[in-house]
Amino acid sequence: MPQTKSVTVIFEPYGTKSEFKKGILLLDALRSVGLNVRSDCGGRGICGKCRAIVKDSSRISKIVEAEKERLSPSELKSGYRLACCTSVIHDATILIPEESRILERKFLIEGTEKPVVVDAAIRKLYAILKKPSLSDVRSDVRRLLDFLQDTYGLEIVRVDYEIEKVLPEILRKADWKVTVSVWNNTEIVSVELGDTSEKVFGIAVDIGTSKIVGYLSNLATGKLLAVGSSDNPQVVYGEDVISRLSFASKGEDQLRELQRLAVKGVEAVIEQACKRSGCSLEHIYEMTVVGNTAMHHLFLGIQPEYLGKSPYVPALSEATDIKARELPIHLNPGANIHVLPVIAGFVGADAVADIISTEVYKSNRLSLVIDIGTNTELILGNKGELIACSCASGPAFEGAHIKCGVKAVKGAIEKLEIVPRNYQVRYQAVGNAKPIGICGSGIIDAVANLLKYGLIDKSGVFSKSSPTPRLRAQNGKKEFVLVSQKEGAARDIVITQKDIEQVQLAKAAIYAGCSILMKKRQVQPEDIGNMFVAGAFGNYININNAKLIGMLPDIPTRKMKFVGNAAGSGARMALISTKDRHVARLVARKVRYVELGLDKDFEKEFTSAMFFKSADSRA
């Protein structure tokens, strides 16, 4: 009878059971079933990282010298062994202790539906290389590639040229013990002296028209380390996208200037986040960028002129990877910048990020995403189909173009209600400070209350009668005093007829956009299963007031979810998960862009949405 030539091994805590050739090296057995364990020296008994526990020592080969050096007597007694020094002779159960496991990690990002599986584009791997000798004259690069292939199964196809130039010095200075940063499992982008594998950071940046925010994260754990933010320095060339586009289209120099400012803003954000977290710039290996299409083009230094001219086509819609040093942005010299794809001229990478963070692309439920800003992006659909459009809602909700409007800074009135009995105004100012003006959420409250108590009519015009001295005329124009100087405000804080018009224009744009999208998909508000309201502003608004003034479609409040900076969350997901990065590519190509201007019903819808419905018809 033939002798048994195979052994059965159970690996714990994985619970994996497999058959192997008798005498197989434990490390090879683990690799062959896809269980990743640490092995910095590539299986040469040097690093002592591939620890395994085998309770019954009779099942395996005898303890060798290398194990005596790397494991303490008490560890050896407890059954600790090195997987690279141990052969499996008989059926055995083998436990891989936590310190040796390379685990799949998950991380939850606020505003997202489910934990993200951490799988960043960058991996840092500590490597103890065999030194060259007359009988092993492999080149420095080949030696490194062989190690990565043998130890991690990595098929490297590219070594950053900047690394090729310095590798001989680094390897010898490091006595052949280095930490290698591998990008997308295929390119070596950094080689550092000694073990720096714990210092592996990345930053996700959301470039807004007015604000830039950066989320510095640990790429191995997904953990958020610090947030940096800055005003967009481009603002000196205009507050809105259109004025920047027209400046850039004047010529190459103007374009370069706007790019320089975008880069400057991003660098300020990175530095702030580094300072707050104590991380060093040189340990940032990856950056993701989202932003509207104009910011996307300007950041990359691509002429955005044609975004502003019919038919409003972007130069570049595809996701792009460039070396940070090409811009240049100061990070690790081999760092990569991944710029997410855009959908259309006015539906940018921020909308793509909204889609991946809200996960509407994989839900069966019909969802509506509203990302409110100067341009409001709307996305409607589900797993089957997604359509998107952009509406020029204007900056009213950011407090701009409003007589007493301010951003949500200290002293901004953020909430208010009118007491119907005496028309007194109860308000709340940011930081409980002396009121200096009114911000977006306050403006919505003001208009809703004016409507509710008959101070304005359905077309937004102030009541002819004056039930309260707060409704006054200044230079023949009516306005409502929210807080007067006498009442403690820095100045009389009022809402004018023109302010109300601005709100009407903004809310009508959003509402009409939603209507057109619903019409395209042939659905009614009641068919919508989820509504995601994104944008920093979304978290602070009174939802009933927003519905009352007809800014949001008539969808039950329980179906609404405020997701904050969903674009930033999407950028963070793309930073720590290459899978989500891939999804972003697919999504950007799949979403069907709807040009509102082309829809024959848009004007009608928009005009009709300018009116307020009667306050009673809502609740």
Q: Which two tokens stand for residue 363?
A: 């839900």
Classified as helix, coil or strand, 394 is coil
Which residue from 574, 566, 454 is spatially nearest to 120, judged by alpha carbons?
A: 574
Which residue from 524, 593, 592 is spatially nearest to 553, judged by alpha carbons?
A: 524
CB-nearer residue toward its own copies: 133 or 422: 133
Question: Which residues are at the interface with its own copies (CB under 8 A)?
Answer: 132-142, 145, 159, 161, 164-169, 172, 300-303, 305-306, 310-318, 320, 322, 326, 342, 344-345, 593, 595, 597-598
Which residues, in sequence order, are bridge partners of residue 215?
204, 227
Alpha carbon distance 532, 122 (integer Å): 31
Give the amino acid at 239. Answer: E
CB-nearer residue toward its own copies: 150 or 164: 164
- C-alpha distances in Å from residue 423, one per residue of 418, 470, 480: 6, 8, 10
> Which DSSP string do the residues of 137-167 spell out, in sequence order?
---HHHHHHHHHHHHH-----EE-HHHHHHH
Least distance in angstroms from the C-beta of 158 to its own copies: 8
For 248, phi then psi, to 5°, come to -60, -35
Least distance in angstroms from the C-beta of 252 to its own copies: 9
Q: Which two tokens stand for residue 598?
A: 């082309």
Least distance in angstroms from the C-beta of 219 to its own copies: 23
CB-nearer residue toward its own copies: 30 or 289: 289
CB-nearer residue toward its own copies: 29 or 167: 167
Least distance in angstroms from the C-beta of 106 to its own copies: 29
Q: Which two tokens stand for residue 173?
A: 């200075």
- C-alpha distances in Å from residue 536, one per residue of 213, 408, 486, 518, 567: 11, 10, 32, 25, 10
Q: What angle do CA 461, 465, 466 make, to 5 degrees?
A: 100
The dihedral sign for the CA sequence 438, 440, 441, 444: positive
Least distance in angstroms from the C-beta of 319 to its own copies: 11
Least distance in angstroms from the C-beta of 7 to its own copies: 34
CB-nearer residue toward its own copies: 303 or 428: 303
Q: Which two tokens stand for residue 280?
A: 């060093």
Least distance in angstroms from the C-beta of 99 to its own copies: 34
Alpha carbon distance 245, 307 (integer Å): 8
CB-nearer residue toward its own copies: 69 or 601: 601
Least distance in angstroms from the C-beta of 246 to its own copies: 15
Return the CA Rg of the chain.
Answer: 30
Q: Which two tokens stand for residue 527?
A: 């068919």
Q: What angle do CA 40, 43, 48 make, to 5 degrees?
A: 60
For 98, phi then psi, to 5°, come to -55, -40
CB-nearer residue toward its own copies: 311 or 384: 311
CB-nearer residue toward its own copies: 255 or 493: 255
Give the amino acid at 380. Answer: L
- C-alpha distances in Å from residue 514, one per residue of 74, 365, 377, 417, 523: 69, 17, 10, 28, 11
Alpha carbon distance 171, 212 (integer Å): 39
- C-alpha distances in Å from residue 476, one per residue of 459, 473, 479, 480, 496: 19, 5, 10, 13, 12
Least distance in angstroms from the C-beta of 185 to its own copies: 15
CB-nearer residue toward its own copies: 415 or 581: 581
Least distance in angstroms from the C-beta of 463 to its own copies: 43
Which residues, in sequence order, are bridge partners of residue 228?
214
CB-nearer residue toward its own copies: 54 or 127: 127
CB-nearer residue toward its own copies: 146 or 457: 146
Least distance in angstroms from the C-beta of 197 to its own copies: 23
